[in-house]
Amino acid sequence: MDKVLSIIKDNKLTYNQKVLNLAQAAEDSLSVFNITEETKEYIEARIICDLNEGNAPYKARYILPDYEKFMKNGSKFLELEPPKDIWEATNNLLILYKHVPSVTSFPVYAGNLDTLLEPFITDEEEAYRAIKLFLLHMDRTLRSSYCHANLGPASTKAGRLILKAERELQCSTPSITLKYNNETPDDYAIDAINTALITAKPSFANHSMFVHDFGEDYGIASCYNGLNIGGGSYTLVRLNLYFLAQRSKGIEDFLNNVLPEGVVRTSSLMDEKIRFLVEESGFFDTSFLVEEGLISRNRFTGMFGMFGLAECVNHLLLPKTPEERFGHGEEANKLGLKIIEKLQEEVGRHYNKYCETTGGNFILHAQVGIDSDTGISPGCRIPIGEEPELQEHIIQSAVFHKFFPSGISDVFSFDSTVKQNTEYILDIIKGAFNENMRYFPFYSTDCDVVRITGYLVKRSEMEKLDQGKAVLVDNVVLGLGAVKNQKVLDRKVR
């Protein structure tokens, strides 16, 4: 009850933020999972973290509706006919977004917006006005920059209008990814880079790599999560490799005993979350999204997250010089790779009957970190302040990307002078993708919108919150915590 009262009295929260926090507090007062005392101990020790999913899940964490089917068929439940022009198309999408749940209570996937809107581009001037209002509406009402839209890989009129509107609006929501491959025209990629250097989006996804893992029917949702369209992920639970390493007696004990046990305990919690969601919550039995074929339960999986690889490696090796630490030393980098290979092997041993779309297995995710993480790096990233030169950073990072179909990234900050030579950025992205890097996010040092870890926040909004004022977008709270605890604005400038 003290927690409920503190939420009610919190002057930094808007009314809507209080409602969501009160709902979370109610759910967290329950206990419905049948897990071992050993697993509970790992949760209390923050070795296992469920990223505030709640203690009685009643909706899947990440949901990627088939918006193409929605545009073609309309919705009986929402009493919407298929759209006939750009105004109806954008209006119908905005209505559906209000009914797509997620861990944040806002949609984490907004669809491949360019291909959704391209059939309705007849008058470009009118379409631009509609698209600009559509994006503005999303930013002001969805209130979470975990909401993520996709573009590409082909150039479209709609895609170019979206990029133009984003440069003018400079909003943090939605985040955007450009699916990029060799067929994406250079001038379109440059248009996207120009936009990203103003407003920190779009990021670039290695389309060929994602297609290899998921087929063409995939989307990038939330931070940078690759998942099946028409499905998604039931849950994301992350394993703290750094804290886990502190339970070991050395490298061999960690690899052969401690890490496998950590995977078993994490997987058991994920199993219980999925069991309750599927068998008891009724979500897949009652949602109109299922009834109208916009999502199907058998296209969902579970995301096994990890973070703190750098600190895990450095703890196990105890390097004596900076040149021997993770991201620099050959022995450290090889150990990091060995740990991830072992993690993949152990996660692959576990079977969950409700993850048919990924062969009954969970898929790995390099988790971006949360605002309360202190001294622990996201995913497989090199700690901030220790980044090597750009080419070395890309080569070191890229070797890990093949292990994480559901998402991994680094974040690159470029000096504002790079705006005079955007072809330089494109060459870097092409080179990174040739090294099998999966995802490439970046921004300019003079952007108001910046990438925190996997999501976007405005510097101006963080300053406002730091002064004790309420802000519209939920992520600003997380962003300010990350700035203070993880020094995310101190990344090496390229």
Percentage of residues in the chain having pLDDT higher than 90: 83
Structure confidence at residue 13 (pLDDT): 86
Identify the weakest region by mean pLDDT among 21-35, 95-109, 441-455, 479-493: 479-493
Please count the other Cβ atoms lying within 10 Å of the Cβ belonging to residue 45.
13
Report pLDDT digits (tens) over 268-318. Answer: 999 999 999 999 999 999 999 999 999 999 999 999 999 999 999 999 999
Residue 488 scores a pLDDT above 80: no
CA distances from 169 to 132, 187, 194, 203, 323 (A): 8, 22, 14, 17, 43
Q: What is the DSSP letter of 469?
A: -
Would you state the structure tokens that stand for residue 473, as one six-digit string?
Answer: 């977008």
Domain assignments of the chain as residue spans, ordered by start: 1-30, 32-60+225-408, 67-224+410-494
- Can you give the pTM of this predicted structure? 0.94
- pLDDT per position as a tens digit, 190-203: 999 999 999 999 99
Tens-place pLDDT, residues 230-257: 999 999 999 999 999 999 999 999 999 9
The DSSP annotation for 408-465 comes to ----EEE-GGGGG-HHHHHHHHHHHHHTT--EE-EEETT-SEEE-SSSEEEHHHHHHH
Higher pLDDT, 12 or 182: 182
| Stronger pLDDT, 472 or 26, i.e. the higher one | 26
Q: What is the Cα–Cα distance from 214 to 494, expressed in whole angstroms?
A: 32
Q: What are phi and psi of 235, to 5 degrees?
A: -155, 160
Q: pLDDT: is 473 or 179 the higher one? A: 179
- What confidence score (pLDDT) does residue 373 get? 84
Section 199-217 average pLDDT: 97
Q: What is the pLDDT of residue 469?
A: 86
Count of C-beta atoms within a 10 Å radius of residue 391: 12
> pLDDT category, 264, cuts 50, 70, 90?
very high
Q: Predicted confidence band at 371 (pLDDT cuts at 50, 70, 90)?
A: confident
Measure CA of the first residue to CA of the last residue in the chain; give whole Å. Answer: 49
Answer yes or no: is pLDDT of 486 > 80: no
- CB-CB neighbours of 334 under 10 Å: 12
Q: What pLDDT sits at residue 374?
A: 86
Q: How far apart are CA 369 and CA 51, in angstroms?
A: 9
**Cβ atoms within 10 Å, residue 436:** 14
Give the mean pLDDT of 124-131: 98
Q: What is the mean pLDDT of residues 361-372?
A: 91
Buried b (16+ CB within 10 A) or exposed e, 62-96: bbbbbbbbbbeebbeeeebeebeebbbbbbbbbeb
Averaged pLDDT score across all residues of the chain: 95
Of the candidate ranges 37-51, 94-108, 157-171, 370-384, the one whose mean pLDDT is the lowest:
370-384
